[in-house]
Chain A
Amino acid sequence: MVSFFKQKRQMKQRDAKKEDQGQSKTVDYIESSLSANMEIVKQKTGDSPDIIIRTLKISQDPEIKTTIVYVQGLIDNPSVTDFLIESIMKNPHLSEKILPQKALEVITEDVVSLGGVATVNDWEKLFLSLLSGDSIIFVDGINTALVASTKGGERRSIQEPSTHLTVRGSREGFTESNVTNIAMLRRIINSPDLWIESMKIGTVTKTDVSIMYINGIVKKEIVEEVKKRLKRINIDSILESGYIEQLIEDQVMTPFPTLNHTERPDMVAGNLLEGRVAIFVNGTPFVLVAPALFVQFFQSVEDYYNRFDIATATRFLRIIVFIISVVGPALYVAATTFHQEMIPTKLLVIVAAQRETVPLPAVIEALLMEITFEILREASLRMPKAVGSTMSIVGALVIGQAAVQAGIVSPAMVIIVSITAIASFATPSYSIAISARLVRFAFILCAGIIGFYGMILAFIILIVHLCSLRSFGVPYMSPLAPLNTQGLGDTFFRRPMWAFKERPKLISSKNNLKREGENQRPLPPESRGMKTSTERKGDGNES
């Protein structure tokens, strides 16, 4: 409650500040003199060599000077040379006599053979287009410029995503370009209801951020909330969608992600069809999806591609894996330090014999091994690939075997840490796996201080914390708490495809929940049914 009030106050302040800034801005307009304009361009860009200024002459008597300005590398070379420069130089319309005032009109209507052409007259918009890859055409004596859409240049091609790997499903992953990414979604969802809204965020980087949703399925309030939060952002740069994520999430003080991110277009499509909103950020292949629920992080797109029994089993496995990765070492610490009586006697004898030579208490041992593991993991992530194998040898041999032989750690501890490590990588979502790692340390500490009591307290706090989270107003633990029986079919269970009658209630718009028609359950052909078999014999395939 306190935090709620605090936030509200902060929000008010922010809004007020924003308004101030909006009023203080003044707009600079383009001059009519070409040379003056060029001076401004040069001065504003610091005369950077990649800004190409190409001056041409059109019309005769009087000759009119025209300048094309573009940024090398950002433009699509053929379209600038063929459709812009060449057509301006060789076009018959332009060799005739034209009035200077009409020149721009003629160029727009008769000369430039490109799709997107627009006029601008203020510098801010002009630079925004120029620096995002458009070509600008100035004509001497006219205080308006022409923006020709010539975006292009080298980009990474569409490749298989490196996260959220699946055996079955599309092999396409998002790229760094928003245009490509949005097009990929358009290819999947061929509906005019797929709506996109764009905005520029970042006072310096002017990053292109688009939100996408399916009109009619999405809840209006969620879209409004997303837009409101995006508009509130006032920061110099957006380099990755993580910036946006951290600036629009519901609660800051939590180890758990309240927005999902993915590299897979099919995953985004699936989420959009459930009524979620996707946020595309130019320059990163990771697309944000909001709102995110806790159970969602244990789901993979492949669950929907596989049959439901397999998918359900896999999901349960993932939950077990998550629990192991959170409480594994803590359980060991608690059991060996405080609750030896709970370990079966034979096992206890083995563990005790191993621990006999170990000079450290179990908590320290566990923390030491966990930290060692984290170091190894971090190092192998950032190392050049060639060194990676050395790393694994050093890690496995030196730390694993040698430490055990030297009697610094017990073999049981090594086993526990290894299982935990593997478990933490078996979670489909990397962001929840990181949270689990962080929470794990808290559990180890609690278990080290007061055994199971500490662990259960930590568990209660964890549950309370998870229940207190919201993602764009939707309770994080739904549909488990608050319980929503309709949504339960797609949590740890995955109901069969023919039983997906409705979209999730809390996320999708209330008046468009229906997902599939009646009687979608596939049946064997009637001739094979038990009823008819007495009357009619089968078609004899079985014989």
Chain B
Amino acid sequence: MKFFGITILLLVPLVLFSLGMDILLGFDLDNSVKHAFNPFLVKDRAELILFLILLVILVFSFIYRKKKKDNKPKGQQ
């Protein structure tokens, strides 16, 4: 869960930041949000599959860690 939190904590400011950069350059908020998420809306199938695989790996990496933590005391016994 800690890792999930960290990931979100890193992701959100960075996205906001790049949005802020857009606004700084003179786009309005609507436009820049649209711009930011454009790449995720227009994806062909292969891209989408890759994205989902990466996402699954990410989620898996969170869960995997949890399991390992559970294993730790077992291993030491």
- Could you tell me which A residues sit within 8 Å of B by CB distance? 9, 12-13
Contacts and interface: CB of A to CB of B under 8 A. Distances in A.
Contacts of B72: 9
B75 interface: yes
Contacts of A13: 75
The majority secondary structure among interface residues of chain A is: helix
Contacts of A12: 75-76
A12 B75 CA distance: 9
Interface string B9-36: 0000000000000000000000000000
A103 B50 CA distance: 83
A9 B74 CA distance: 11
Interface in B25-74: 72
A13 B76 CA distance: 7
A221 B55 CA distance: 44
Q: Which 6 A-B pairs have the closest CB atoms?
A: A9-B75, A13-B75, A12-B76, A9-B72, A9-B76, A12-B75
A494 B76 CA distance: 50
B69 to A, nearest CB: 12
A281 B76 CA distance: 34
Contacts of B75: 9, 12-13
A446 to B, nearest CB: 15
A516 to B, nearest CB: 51
Nearest to B71: A9
A12 B76 CA distance: 8
Contacts of B76: 9, 12
Contacts of A9: 72, 75-76
A19 to B, nearest CB: 15
A9 B75 CA distance: 8
6 contacts: A9-B72, A9-B75, A9-B76, A12-B75, A12-B76, A13-B75
A471 B76 CA distance: 28
A9 B76 CA distance: 8
Nearest to A6: B68
A12 B77 CA distance: 11
B35 to A, nearest CB: 26
B38 to A, nearest CB: 23
B37 to A, nearest CB: 26
Nearest to B75: A9
Nearest to B72: A9
A13 B73 CA distance: 12
B50 to A, nearest CB: 11
A265 B31 CA distance: 75
B71 to A, nearest CB: 9
A367 to B, nearest CB: 20
A13 B72 CA distance: 12
B61 to A, nearest CB: 11
A411 B72 CA distance: 57
B24 to A, nearest CB: 33
